[in-house]
A and B are shown apart, each in its own frame.
Chain A
Amino acid sequence: MMYDLFIEPLQYQFMQRALIASVMVGVINGALGCFIILRRMAFIGDALSHAILPGVVIAFMVAGKGHFALFLGAVFAGIVTALLIGFVNRNSRIKEDSAIGVIFIGMFAFGVLLIGRLQAVHLDLQHFLFGDPLGVSPGDLYLTGIIGIVILGSITLFYKQLQLTSFDPIMATAIGMNTGMVHYFLMGILSMTIVASLQAVGIILVVAMLITPGATAYLLTERLPKMLILASLIGATAAIIGLYISYWMNYSSGAAMVIVVTLMFLITLIFAPKQGVLIKIIQRKRAQERHLNDDVLKATYQLSRDMQETNLSQIAEYLGITTHLLKNVLHKLLQKQLIMHTDDESILLTEDGKKHALKLIRSHRLWETYLTEQAGLGWEHVDEEAERLEHDLPDDIVDEIDERLGYPEHDPHGAPIPKKDGTIRETEDHPLASLHVGETGIITRVSDQIPEVLATLWNAGLIPNVQLTVTERDNGTMHVQVGEKKFTLDDKAASRVMVRKV
């Protein structure tokens, strides 16, 4: 079976040559393509592949089907195109991409025109455009081999120059590298590569063999040498598979190779271990789940602290989530032994759960303190920020913030900050709403969920350590006196202010 599929076709010499040519084309394009991608020259690569057509055709007219002439014609046309693009770009307000668009399609049309004149001779436009690997002659193979050696040799010898001019052209120039020369040199070897690829994939599709293997490799590695090797392997693999598909199913070989390499790219895009779409979705989901677990632990801690114990519906209401979702979360927390529940459906934190909750609260409250004191953010905005940051901070950074702030006891809202060892000094405080007329309290903290309420309280001067007395209560509102001033609060605001009775 394997023999029939892969080895049997190789008894034909034309197939052997086609296979060797395709592998070489895959390797050369893959390696060179890496630099084309990193220099953001994909478009210029496409342009060049089309623009060499008139050079090839003219060479054919002058010298017949001599390989060296074709090669010279292509490189010449490639350099002319690169120079023309540079000229238009420098001497007019036309930007580079438009200059490329104008020049390459003009050159290509000129080439098509010339081919029309050649129809007497059997130069098949079809083959130029879409490739014909089964027609590879020993001479073609020879030429491709030489071009391959030149290109892979240049990449090895001038790796430094190619790397630095691609990464940091300013430094490259500053240490005396000729970035302009590197650019035109690349254009030159790119033209050669395209000539080498004409037989295997044709002008129209060659850019895919140039860009796609490199782009695929770029999703898989963060090292340039690895990217070069990987791209070459991907290019060669796609070329081989494409060739067999074309042999057995009689498809255009260029199209088959490009379809294979494109599929390889798409599969990598989805499944790549670090850059892949799938792993990113999974990571995002995991982060969301972790944040929700954290929020539930914190809510359980807060609620059971204020009211001794708590239950499912209280937590769901507090967090604004459905009880169905909450049950799932609680189930996981139960498995991790972070919570317990009693027979009467009360929910309690285990020692581990409490530790975890306090760690989050510590991170949250230290952030709030840091953002108000050091970053100068408004008191009423820091809660939202801290809410986002608290989940993902490593412990050592939290400890460093603690140290830098001088180990503060309270956050800006007056809530106690848990210590590094997991202890917390909770204060004996009650909501202001629970005070009766005539009672006096000192504000210990302002519960920090709603920015508008916080801003109102802040503007009124109702901040931690201020002493107030309840003067009057009626339906839904409460009147308090602070020094000489009198304020009216609705019950919602009053329930946010925690006081210690005096």
Chain B
Amino acid sequence: MNIKPVIDIQNLTVSYHRKPAIRSVNLKLTERGIIGIIGPNGAGKSTLLKAILGLVPIDNGTVKVFGEPVFKVRNKISYVPQKEIIDWDFPVTVYDVVMMGRYAHLGVIERPGPSDRDIVEAAIDKVGMNEYKNQQIGNLSGGQQQRVFLARALAQESEILLLDEPFVGVDAATEHAIIDLMHSLNDEGKMVVVVNHDLGKVQEYFQYLIMINQRLIAYGPTREVFKPDLLSKTYGGRLTILQKTEQLFGVAQ
């Protein structure tokens, strides 16, 4: 049987200010699992996510989602941004932010209706933020802020979730909450793609791994590709990280 890829990337090249960030990447994501993207700084991890979302101009190649160009399937993809790019003083509450997830489904001048409000309430409840739903987002802790954006992605009811560094600056409880949520979404048949730079928990968290350093180094089930030779190819020459991963293997084996 021929399984249709959820995300199909062919010969993708993207550059910023004439410096290539991703070169000739070919990648077919078929599995609806939890997929990690790892690679050193400047390897193009976030760029890959943005290319899937259609947010960056593409030099060459194609990106298709469910066999269609991204702009046709926008409301099937949701995105959780890195925390640093958000203006936390912005006058919006938890509820307001989660409601933004519904905008993808509303017409140009359509206003959110009762069913949207129900979905938003349910999403807030699912990440355990009910108590804080009328708080301005700047009054929350780092972990709570991350949950708000997760709830927004949930409210979007998308098939694919893309998360950019969701574990940075969150407490252990939130990290667990995020992982639990990823698993429950995965159980519902959704694809979850996560950019991550901490190698420590890769084996625990991700069923599949994309290893990238501008070029695609490897993609496959974590236990098959999370190997010293591929890691050294990915992190080429960065000794400190390499040693760290070797130590990791020492512990893991």
**A: which residues have CB within 8 A of B?**
38, 157-158, 160-161, 163-164, 166-168, 170-171, 173-177, 218, 221-224, 226-227
Q: Is the CB of B55 within 8 A of A223?
A: no
> Is B79 a contact of A167 with CB atoms below 8 Å?
no
Find chain B residues with CB under 8 A from A173 CB.
Answer: 53-55
Q: If A163-B92, A223-B93, A224-B96 touch, does A175 touch B104 (CB 8 Å cutoff)? A: yes
If A174-B79, A223-B91 are given as contacts, then 6 extra A-B residue pairs at C-beta distance below 8 Å, sorted by A number, are A38-B90, A171-B100, A173-B55, A174-B53, A175-B104, A223-B96
Taking the closest CB of chain A, its distance from the CB of B138, in whole angstroms, is 8
**Is residue B1 contacting chain A, with contact meaning CB distance below 8 A?**
no
* Contact B91 A222, beta carbon cutoff 8 Å: yes
Q: Looking at the complex, which one of B81, B91, B109 makes contact with A227 (CB distance below 8 Å)?
A: B91
Residues of A within 8 A of B50 (CB): 170
Question: What are 28 inter-chain pairs, A to B, with CB distance below 8 A?
Answer: A38-B90, A38-B91, A158-B108, A158-B109, A161-B108, A163-B100, A164-B100, A164-B103, A166-B90, A168-B81, A168-B100, A170-B55, A170-B81, A171-B79, A173-B53, A173-B54, A174-B54, A174-B74, A174-B79, A176-B71, A176-B74, A176-B75, A218-B91, A222-B91, A222-B93, A223-B92, A223-B93, A224-B91
B3 interface residue per 8 A CB criterion: no
A interface: dominant SS: helix
A-chain residues with CB within 8 Å of residue B156 when the two chains form the complex: 175
Chain B residues in 8 Å Cβ range of A167: 86-87, 90, 92, 97, 100
How far does the alpha carbon of A94 sit from the alpha carbon of B136 in the complex, in Å? Answer: 36
Residues of B within 8 Å of A38, CB to CB, are 87, 90-91
Counting CB contacts under 8 A, is B106 at the interface?
yes
* Complex interface: chain A residues within 8 A of B106 (CB): 160
Chain A residues contacting B96 (CB-CB under 8 Å) are: 163, 223-224
Whether the Cβ atoms of B74 and A224 lie closer than 8 Å is: no
Q: How far is the CB of A33 from chain B (nearest CB, A)?
A: 13
Contacts A170-B55, A174-B53 given; does A222 touch B136 at CB 8 Å: yes
Q: Are B81 and A175 in contact (CB under 8 A)?
A: no
Check B123 for interface membership: any CB of A closer than 8 A: no
Q: Is B85 an interface residue (CB 8 A)?
A: yes
Shortest CB-to-CB span from B149 to chain A, Å, is: 9
* A171-B85 Cα distance, complex, nearest whole Å: 11
Q: How far is the CA of A157 from the CA of B107 in the complex (A)?
A: 11
**Which of A166, A223, A227 has the largest count of B CB atoms less than 10 A from its CB?**
A223
Known: A160-B106, A224-B96. A170 touches B79 (CB 8 A): yes
User: Knowing A167-B87, A170-B85, A171-B81 touch, does A176 contact B93 (C-beta < 8 A)?
Assistant: no
What residues on A are CB-neighbors of B136 within 8 Å? 222-223
Cα-based distance from A168 to B53 in the complex (angstroms): 14
